[in-house]
């Protein structure tokens, strides 16, 4: 069987059946949301840029926001056979890539993205089984349908699998 590797761009959502690998590059303050149905071996990934579609006027791309991308991702996974009750999550990213002297909430975009993703997954009763979030460094992630493992590569912090 040939494994299909699919690259997920910024503000994109994709779902795939086994055998597949979903990859997104250069997560900084963005959060990679990886959903897995272990029984059906269906995976999905969203590359989320911003916490809420309600806070911004230019919100046409629903895959850009935590509150709308997660809904889209669940629906895409269900469309190819996933069972919502069997889905678990792994998340990565949400870094604070630059330091600011200001305590302005809007500048904490990575942390706000992580909070929004956690809130939205909770709303859908999807358990986060592993995460690698925060810090001040970027991440590249690869999500594998065969076992739901998530490989996280960083510059200066090595590679780990969660």
**Domain 4-157 falls under CATH 3.30.1330.200:** yes
Per-residue three-class SS string for the chain:
CCCEEEECCCCCEEEEECCEEEEEEEECCCEEEEEEECCCCEEEEEEECECCHHHCCCCCCHHHEHHHHHHHHHHHHHHCCCCHHHEEEEEEECCCCCCCCCCCHHHCHHHHHHHHHHHHHHHCCCEEEEEEECCCCCEEEEEECCCCCEEEEECCCEEEEC
Q: What is the pLDDT of residue 60?
A: 84
30 is catalytic: yes
Per residue in 105-144, pLDDT (tens digit) is: 567 899 999 999 999 999 999 999 999 999 999 999 999 9
Q: What is the pTM of this model?
A: 0.93
Q: What is the pLDDT of residue 105?
A: 59
Q: What is the pLDDT of residue 40?
A: 97
Which residue ranges of the chain lie beneath pLDDT 50?
none
Q: What is the pLDDT of residue 3?
A: 86
Q: What is the pLDDT of residue 98?
A: 72
The residue from 20, 21, 27, 30 that is catalytic is 30
Could you tell me the residue ranges of all domains in the chain? 4-157
């Amino acid at each position: 069987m040939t494994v299909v590797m699919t690259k997920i761009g910024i503000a994109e959502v994709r779902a795939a059946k086994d055998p597949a690998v979903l990859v997104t590059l250069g997560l900084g303050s963005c959060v990679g949301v990886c959903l897995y149905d272990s029984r059906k071996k269906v995976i999905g990934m969203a590359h989320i840029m911003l916490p809420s579609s309600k806070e911004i006027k230019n919100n046409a791309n629903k895959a850009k926001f935590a509150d709308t991308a997660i809904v889209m991702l669940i629906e895409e996974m269900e469309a190819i056979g996933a069972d919502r009750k069997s889905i678990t999550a792994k998340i990565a990213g949400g870094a604070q890539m630059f330091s600011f002297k200001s305590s302005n909430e809007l500048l904490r975009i990575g942390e706000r993205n992580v909070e929004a993703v956690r809130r939205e997954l909770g709303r859908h009763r999807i358990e986060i089984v592993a995460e690698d979030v925060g810090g001040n460094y970027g991440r590249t992630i690869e999500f594998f349908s065969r076992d739901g493992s998530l490989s996280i590569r960083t510059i200066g912090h090595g590679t780990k699998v969660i």
